[in-house]
Amino acid sequence: MKSAKVIFGILIGIAGGTLLGLLFAPDKGSTTRKRILDKGEDYAEGLKNKLEGVLDAVADKYDTTWQNAQVGINDGKEKMKAIKEDLKA
């Protein structure tokens, strides 16, 4: 419970500091909002690129695993056919 209060206090402090920073900013409000929007878009683009990289890696791993499974299944089928032929003989 204590750590939740500390985290909440930190978040409130960050929000308050951000608000005060915006209120006392040297630029016009429209300029500040534009800069914030541009920075947010940069962060979103960076996050999107990282996420695409992770998803590509997962897809590659999935494809490799799927191919390995298919090879294993085909090998198993061939071995079963060989065993059936041995049992028939």
State how far the Cα of 13 lies from the Cα of 30, in Å rounded to an integer. 24
Number of domains in the chain: 1
Q: Which residue has the higher pLDDT, 23 or 1?
A: 23
For residue 68, what are the domain limits? 2-88
State how far the Cα of 77 lies from the Cα of 85, in Å rounded to an integer. 12
Verdict on whether the full-model pTM lies above 0.75:
no
Q: Transcribe 41-56 into DSSP letters.
A: HHHHHHHHHHHHHHHH
Please say whether the dihedral angle defined by the alpha carbons of residues 53, 54, 59 and 61, taken in this order, is positive or negative: positive
Query: How does pLDDT run across 25-80, given as a tens digit for each residue?
Result: 777 878 878 888 898 899 999 999 989 988 999 999 999 999 999 999 999 999 99
What's residue 44's pLDDT? 92
